[in-house]
Structure 1
Amino acid sequence: MSATFEELQRSQLAPHPHNVRRDVGNVVDLANSITAQGIMQPLVVAPSLTAAPVGWATPGIARHGQYTIIAGHRRFAAAGLANLDLLPCVIREDLDTEPKQLEAMLVENTQRTDLTITEEAEAYQSLLEFDGYTVKSVAKATGRSQSLVRSRIALTKLSEAAKGKIEDRTLNVDQALVLVDFTDDEAATMRLLRVAGQPSEWAFQVAKEQGRKAWLDNLPRLTAELQGAGVDIIERPAGQTWEWTDWRISYQKMTVAEAVAGGWSAICDDTKEEISWIQKRPKGSTPAVQERTPEQLAEEIRQQELTRGLATAAEVRTAFIKGAIQKPAADKTRDMLVDYVITRRRIGDLAPWLDIDLDEEQEETDFQKRDEEVTAAVRKLSIPQLVALMHVDTFEREMYMTDLGGWRNGPGWQSTETWRDRLSTIYGYQWTEAEQAAIDYHQTDRDGTEND
Structure 2
Amino acid sequence: MTTTPTTSEFALVDIDHVHPHPRNVRRTVTGVDELAASIKSGGLHQPLVVAPAAADDAAGYTLVMGHRRLVVAPAAADDAAGYTLVMGHRRLAAVQSLGWAEVPCVIRYDLDTEAAVLEAMLAENMARTDLTPTEEGDAVQALLDLDVTPAKIAKAIGRTSKHVKDRAQIAGLTEKARTAVDDGQITISDALHLSKLDGDHELAERVERFIGTPNFRYTLEKALAEAEFNRKRDTILAELTETGATITDGPAAAGPDEVRLFLAQRPDDVTDPTVSVYVAEYQPWGGNSAPRVQWVQIRPRAEEDPTEGTTFVSAEKVPEDNEEDTAAEEAREAAARAVREEQNDKYRQERRDRETAQATRFRWLHEKWREGMRAEPGVRERQLRDLVAEDPDGYRMASNRQRLAPIIAGPDAELDGDDPALDPAGWSLDRLIFAAWWIHIGHDRDHDALGVAQSWDDGTVAYLQGLVDDYDYPLSTVEEAHIDEYEAFMADADQSAEDD
TM-score range, shorter chain: 0.5 to 0.7
Aligned partner letter, 1:155: I
Q: Please identify, of 309-318 and 121-130, the stretch whose mean Cα deviation from structure 2 is larger.
A: 309-318
Q: Note closer, same or farther for the CA distance 1:279–1:319 as it changes in structure 2 (3 Å cut).
A: farther
Aligned partner letter, 1:176: A
Q: 1:286 aligns with which of 308, 326, 329?
A: 329
Q: 1:137 aligns with which of 124, 140, 152?
A: 152
Q: How does 1:124-163 map to 2 (within 5 A)?
A: 124-130=140-146, 133-163=148-178
Q: Does 1:22 align with 2:27?
A: yes
Q: Note closer, same or farther for the CA distance 1:57–1:171 as it changes in structure 2 (3 Å cut).
A: same
Q: 2:85 aligns with which of 59, 69, 89?
A: 69
Cα distance in 1 between the residues matched to 2:349 and 2:187: 30
Q: Does 1:2 align with 2:2?
A: no
Q: 1:204 aligns with which of 188, 213, 218?
A: 218
Other structure's SS at 2:181 match? helix
Q: Does 1:90 align with 2:97?
A: no
After superposition, give the CA deviation of every residue in 1:373-401 in whole Å (9 maximum; x if it has no partner): xxxxxxxxxx99xx9xxxxxxxxxxxxxx
Cα distance in 1 between the residues matched to 2:202 and 2:249: 27
In 2, are the aligned partners of 1:233 and 1:268 still within 8 Å (CA)? Answer: no
Aligned partner letter, 2:174: S
In 1, are the aligned partners of 2:75 and 2:82 still within 8 Å (CA)? Answer: no
Q: Note closer, same or farther for the CA distance 1:2–1:231 as it changes in structure 2 (3 Å cut).
A: closer
Q: Note closer, same or farther for the CA distance 1:267–1:292 as it changes in structure 2 (3 Å cut).
A: farther
In 1, are the aligned partners of 2:237 and 2:279 still within 8 Å (CA)? Answer: no
Q: 1:305 aligns with which of 345, 349, 352?
A: 349
Q: 2:281 aligns with which of 269, 272, 283?
A: 269
Task: Give the alignment's Cα RMSD to 1 decimal.
Answer: 4.5
Partner of residue 186, structure 1 = 201
In 1, are the aligned partners of 2:10 and 2:104 still within 8 Å (CA)? Answer: yes
Cα distance in 2 between the residues matched to 1:141 and 1:92: 17
In 1, are the aligned partners of 2:49 and 2:86 still within 8 Å (CA)? Answer: yes
Q: Note closer, same or farther for the CA distance 1:40–1:304 as it changes in structure 2 (3 Å cut).
A: same
- With normalisation by structure 1, the TM-score equals 0.58
In 2, are the aligned partners of 1:47 and 1:56 still within 8 Å (CA)? Answer: yes
Aligned partner letter, 1:286: E
Aligned partner letter, 1:331: A
Cα distance in 2 between the residues matched to 1:190 and 1:139: 32
Cα distance in 2 between the residues matched to 1:332 and 1:112: 30
After superposition, give the CA deviation of every residue in 1:403-451 in whole Å (9 maximum; x if it has no partner): xxxxxxxxxxxxxxxxxxxxxxxxxxxxxxxxxxxxxxxxxxxxxxxxx
Partner of residue 355, structure 1 = none
Aligned partner letter, 1:334: G
Cα distance in 1 between the residues matched to 2:120 and 2:7: 13
Q: Note closer, same or farther for the CA distance 1:107–1:224 as it changes in structure 2 (3 Å cut).
A: closer
Q: Note closer, same or farther for the CA distance 1:303–1:226 as it changes in structure 2 (3 Å cut).
A: farther
Aligned partner letter, 2:151: K
Partner of residue 498, structure 2 = none
Q: Note closer, same or farther for the CA distance 1:158–1:336 as it changes in structure 2 (3 Å cut).
A: same
Cα distance in 1 between the residues matched to 2:119 and 2:373: 39
Structure 1 alignment gaps of length 5 or more: 238-253, 260-264, 346-382, 388-452
Q: Please identify, of 290-299 and 120-129, the stretch whose mean Cα deviation from structure 2 is larger.
A: 290-299
Aligned partner letter, 1:51: A
In 2, are the aligned partners of 1:56 and 1:65 still within 8 Å (CA)? Answer: yes
Other structure's SS at 1:166 match? helix
- Structure 1 residue 120 displacement after superposition: 2.0
Q: 1:176 aligns with which of 183, 188, 191?
A: 191
Q: Note closer, same or farther for the CA distance 1:316–1:175 as it changes in structure 2 (3 Å cut).
A: closer
Q: Note closer, same or farther for the CA distance 1:86–1:190 as it changes in structure 2 (3 Å cut).
A: same
After superposition, give the CA deviation of every residue in 1:271-304 in whole Å (9 maximum; x if it has no partner): 5645498864534251475834988865554343
Partner of residue 354, structure 1 = none
Q: Note closer, same or farther for the CA distance 1:157–1:343 as it changes in structure 2 (3 Å cut).
A: closer
Partner of residue 42, structure 2 = 37
Q: Does 1:217 align with 2:240?
A: no
Aligned partner letter, 2:220: V
Q: Note closer, same or farther for the CA distance 1:116–1:279 as it changes in structure 2 (3 Å cut).
A: farther
Aligned partner letter, 2:58: A
In 1, are the aligned partners of 2:140 and 2:168 still within 8 Å (CA)? Answer: yes
- Structure 1 residue 182 displacement after superposition: 0.8
Cα distance in 2 between the residues matched to 1:134 and 1:8: 34
Partner of residue 71, structure 2 = none
Partner of residue 131, structure 2 = 115
In 2, are the aligned partners of 1:226 and 1:256 still within 8 Å (CA)? Answer: no
Which structure would you say has the larger Rg?
Answer: 1
Other structure's SS at 1:330 match? coil
Cα distance in 1 between the residues matched to 2:369 and 2:9: 57
Q: How much identity, in percent, do the aligned residues show?
A: 28
Aligned partner letter, 1:308: R
Cα distance in 2 between the residues matched to 1:101 and 1:325: 38
Cα distance in 1 between the residues matched to 2:42 and 2:28: 24
Partner of residue 360, structure 1 = none
- Structure 1 residue 162 displacement after superposition: 1.8
In 1, are the aligned partners of 2:137 and 2:168 still within 8 Å (CA)? Answer: yes
Cα distance in 1 between the residues matched to 2:168 and 2:98: 38
Structure 2 alignment gaps of length 5 or more: 1-5, 61-73, 253-261, 268-276, 295-313, 320-326, 390-428, 434-500
- Structure 1 residue 77 displacement after superposition: 0.8
- With normalisation by structure 2, the TM-score equals 0.53
Cα distance in 1 between the residues matched to 2:48 and 2:37: 18
